[in-house]
Amino acid sequence: MDDFISEIFALEKPCLIGEGDFVKALSNVLTNWDSEVSLNEALRVWTLIEPDADILDLIMKLKNDYIVCLATNQQKFRANYMSFELGYDELFDFSFYSCQLGKVKPSVEYFKAILNKLNLKSNNLLLLDDDRKNIGSAQEIGIHAEIFNISDKVEGLKNILTKYHIVIT
């Protein structure tokens, strides 16, 4: 089982920078392993996202006064799911999916690409991320960055925003 899972994550890696078709590659792995799981069942693993309604509401309020972006490492299948099924294209002002940028976090180039697309100086951006490596890379180029885990809920998010004098209206 470990080899099977490792193979799936290995095939996803190039897809995270937009190289290759994750769905096709996953289908091939399932076939090669004679899996009894259908492709649709296997893909469901990549759609098990339960957005926190309170955080989504706070994001909508932030959009009144701030540019709010999504920055995430995703392959095209999951990026499309997040954009359209979860409605993130409407929720966020900009979405920066690694598969579209051709770069992945924690590379400094990933964050530079975002700054370039937003035409911002690094000190005008606040990154919230659950991975310390991503925080470190962002801070390396002057981006304000804080650890935020979804388990911290809306109160944790509000605490970070308060630290940066970000007002919610």
Are the C-beta atoms of residues 146 and 127 closer than 8 Å to each other?
A: yes
Three-point CA angle 130, 49, 114, nearest 5°: 50
Summarised one tens digit per residue, pLDDT across range 104-135 is 999 999 999 999 999 999 999 999 999 999 99
Closest CA to 98 of 14, 17, 13, 12: 17
**Could you report the per-residue pLDDT of 13-69, keeping only the tens digit for each?**
999 999 999 999 999 999 999 999 999 999 999 998 889 999 999 999 999 999 999
Q: What angle do CA 56, 75, 86 make, to 5 degrees?
A: 25
User: In whole angstroms, what is the distance from residue 97 CA to residue 90 CA?
Assistant: 15
